[in-house]
Chain A
Amino acid sequence: MLRLLKISGDSLTPEYQNGDFVVISKIPFLFAPPTCGDVIAFQQPGYGLMIKRIQQITPDGRIEAIGSHPESVDSRVFGTVKKENVLGKVIWHIHKV
């Protein structure tokens, strides 16, 4: 239902910093499907548990997830993400102080 994760890396800076915590959930997807701008956590084969922002949903329903940093390792590197690999969207962001 809810999952607490710690951000590791800088690809979503400046909004999400290395060391921030986030709570993710799939519950919002019961009311609305993933949409552009959502920050989602997902499992990507070969890359592990990742967190990125949805850039677009392809016509075949796959997700293009990218970071805000130009050198982010994201869909530009590993391709699109399967919807079933999405673990949830960020519903609470706890900033590092």
Chain B
Amino acid sequence: MIYQILNKIDQKVNIESAKAHCDIPCGIYDPIIAQISALTAVRMLDLMTDFDSKTPDRNKEYMNSMARYIAVKEEHAERAKAEIRVIWGDYLKAQHLEKYPDTHALVHKIMQLGSKVRQTTDREQATQLVEAINEFAQIFWETKGVATKRAKAPYAPALELVYPAL
């Protein structure tokens, strides 16, 4: 009873908050970093395929370039996973998860796809990662009441991404 009264007062006058945070509460969350990271992993796979078909010699130069593509793929697949974990762990609250009960399963799927993208050169897994993160982005923006749109990324590999329609 007292809580409900105070809550109503809070909605009108905004009672001062005392922070009991577990992290610096910057409040800045955006799945776009994860989306671009996943897209980068696809791009690296495309570059690897293209480079491999055009470079017959398996010399030092070949290995050097291939190693660099692989390193970037590794880094960005892991970054995509890390960014999703932060939004899932720090931003999403119980009320969001009640409304979107499949979120845990989706995040788990993203973690597994991200690992597959690191372990393999399977482009299909990488495009599935982009799409799974798009689904997550859709949920994220809905929790904020922000409408979304799907549009092709304006750079290779030009896959569709979910953007906030601001």
Name A residues whose Cβ lies closer than 8 Å to a Cβ of B. 3-12, 16, 18, 21-22, 24, 41, 47-52, 67, 69, 71-73, 94-97
**How far, in whole Å, are A69 and B17 apart by their CA atoms in the complex?**
19
> Within the complex, which residue of B4, B10, B19, B24 is in contact with A49, where a contact is CB–CB below 8 Å?
B19
**How far, in whole Å, are A52 and B23 apart by their CA atoms in the complex?**
14
The answer to whether B6 and A67 have CB atoms under 8 Å apart is: no
Q: Judge if B105 is at the interface, Cβ distance under 8 Å.
A: no
The answer to whether B3 and A94 have CB atoms under 8 Å apart is: yes
Number of interface residues of B (CB under 8 A): 17
What does the 1/0 interface line of B1-17 toward A look like (CB < 8 Å)? 01110100010000111
**How far, in whole Å, are A8 and B2 apart by their CA atoms in the complex?**
18
**How far, in whole Å, are A9 and B10 apart by their CA atoms in the complex?**
16
The answer to whether A96 and B3 have CB atoms under 8 Å apart is: yes
- Please name 5 further chain A to chain B contacts, defined as beta carbons within 8 Å, in addition to the given A71-B22, A95-B3, sorted by A numbering: A4-B6, A4-B15, A10-B22, A21-B6, A73-B22
- With contact pairs A21-B3, A97-B4 given, residues A9 and B20 touching in the complex (Cβ less than 8 Å): yes
Q: Judge if B28 is at the interface, Cβ distance under 8 Å.
A: no
The answer to whether B16 and A5 have CB atoms under 8 Å apart is: yes
The answer to whether B3 and A8 have CB atoms under 8 Å apart is: no
